[in-house]
Amino acid sequence: MIVYKKASILENTPVGENIFHLSLEFSGWALPGQFYLLKLPFQEPLLARPFSVFELGERSIEFLYQVKGVGTNLLSTMVKREILTLTGPLGNGWPLPEPEKKLALIGGGIGLASLNMLTREINSKNNSKVDLYLGFSKKPFMLESFSKITHRIVVSSEEKNEPFLQGKITEFINPADYDAIYACGPRPMFKALRSMIKNEGNKYNKPIDLLVSLEEKMACGLGSCWGCVVKVKGEYKRVCHDGPVFNAWEVDWDEYS
Ligand SMILES: Cc1cc2nc3c(=O)[nH]c(=O)nc-3n(C[C@H](O)[C@H](O)[C@H](O)COP(=O)(O)OP(=O)(O)OC[C@H]3O[C@@H](n4cnc5c(N)ncnc54)[C@H](O)[C@@H]3O)c2cc1C
Ligand code: FES
């Protein structure tokens, strides 16, 4: 069930360059990879903005956001006890991998927000083996949160940031080691992964699944306006309603990129 509810800010603090951790008093639910629309209590921007659920507590919900434009700039100025309106949970979220499958989760920059609940869920309930790869352009952030839920993390940064690897995260993954790869991040990262995996079998010589969480500008966020479409297997699909997670081998990347 989708709810439309007001929530009071518990914390809204910077955790990296232009990156904020937002915690709200809220009793809700979400599957890993689902998102909520956050509407600010101002006339502008009129439209709510979509954000992946980073973490859920019994009486709280957490998001990580990067300051980009008018909405996230205003959001970053909000303080404890100010009120936002949330709509969600929305979207399909990540499917849990089949037990015993070897899985790589890849987060590029703020894309890691979508992978926190999934990593925990797989490590606590599922028999799959999961390695987490987190790539940053600048200084890594929120690593302490991930290191509480998994020991299998590879971290890289494009700028030199000891003790982390230097370079793009895709340079440090060998797709052939995995049955499936789930990725959330910028489009060039998806492109690099696609070309690395294409035509390459895993060690059993089977194709490697590649699932990606796509971001599109959204208006309604609820599947009604068709403002967030992407072409998948020749048909338009709504990122908010049919995604945001899609099989990368079915997306028409020529239209999307
Ligand atoms: C399903 C989903 C989950 C998301 N989860 C997160 C998250 O967890 N953390 C986070 O920081 N961001 C997330 N985003 C992106 C976030 O919604 C946008 O960055 C935000 O809406 C920008 O709002 P703004 O008013 O600050 O920027 P605007 O003034 O609207 O735009 C500023 C810039 O951001 C670009 N932009 C705006 N919206 C999007 C979008 N949806 N996708 C790509 N580029 C966009 C614009 O083209 C422009 O260049 C998610 C997007 C989707 C669709
Ligand atoms: S934003 Fe309206 S259909 Fe997706």
Confidence of residue 182 (pLDDT cuts 50, 70, 90): very high
Pocket test for ligand 2, best of 35, 241, 242, 246 (most atoms within 8 A of CB): 241
Domain at 54, CATH number: 2.40.30.10
**Domain contains 252:** no
Q: Which ligand ends up closest to the CA of 90?
A: 1
Cis peptide leading into residue 207 (ω within 30°)? no
Asked whether 47 lines ligand 2 (CB < 6 A), one says no
Question: Rounded CA gap, 46 and 49, in Å?
Answer: 10
29-61 pLDDT, tens per residue?
999 999 999 999 998 999 999 999 999 999 999
Residue appearing with tokens 């060998």: 174
* CB 92 within 8 Å of CB 33: yes
Q: Which residues contact 234 (CB under 8 A, 6 or more apart)?
A: 252
- Mean of pLDDT over the chain: 92
For residues 121 and 205, membership in a common domain is answered with: yes
For residues 34 and 118, membership in a common domain is answered with: no
Nearest atom, ligand 1, residue 213 CA: 1
For residues 150 and 194, membership in a common domain is answered with: yes
Asked whether 226 lines ligand 2 (CB < 6 A), one says yes
**Domain contains 83:** yes
How confident is the model over 184-213, as a mean pLDDT? 82
Of the three residues 90, 110, 129, the one that is the final residue of a domain is: 90
Q: Which domain holds residue 182?
A: 102-213
For residues 127 and 29, membership in a common domain is answered with: no
From the CB of residue 182, how many other CB atoms can be counted at a distance below 10 Å? 27
102-122 pLDDT, tens per residue?
899 999 999 999 999 999 998
- With CA atoms as reference, report the closest residue to 71 among 183, 221, 212: 221
The alpha carbon of 240 and the centre of ligand 2 are apart by a number of angstroms equal to 6
pLDDT at 257: 63
Of the three residues 27, 55, 90, the one that is the final residue of a domain is: 90
Which protein residues are within 6 Å of ligand 1, measured from CB? 35, 45, 49-52, 63-66, 68-72, 91, 110, 113, 215-218, 239, 244
Question: Rounded CA gap, 23 and 59, in Å?
Answer: 10
Question: Rounded CA gap, 158 and 112, in Å?
Answer: 16
**Domain contains 17:** yes
**Domain contains 20:** yes
For residues 130 and 74, membership in a common domain is answered with: no
The alpha carbon of 223 and the centre of ligand 2 are apart by a number of angstroms equal to 4
Count the domains in the chain. 2
The alpha carbon of 4 and the centre of ligand 2 are apart by a number of angstroms equal to 16
- With CA atoms as reference, report the closest residue to 91 among 255, 236, 223: 223
Of the three residues 90, 115, 137, the one that is the final residue of a domain is: 90
**Domain contains 155:** yes
pLDDT at 110: 98
**Domain contains 249:** no
For residues 86 and 107, membership in a common domain is answered with: no
For residues 75 and 38, membership in a common domain is answered with: yes
pTM check: above 0.85: yes
Q: Which residues of 218-241 are buried (b: 16+ CB within 10 A; e: fewer)?
A: bebbeeeeeebbbebeeeebbbbb
Question: Rounded CA gap, 60 and 7, in Å?
Answer: 9
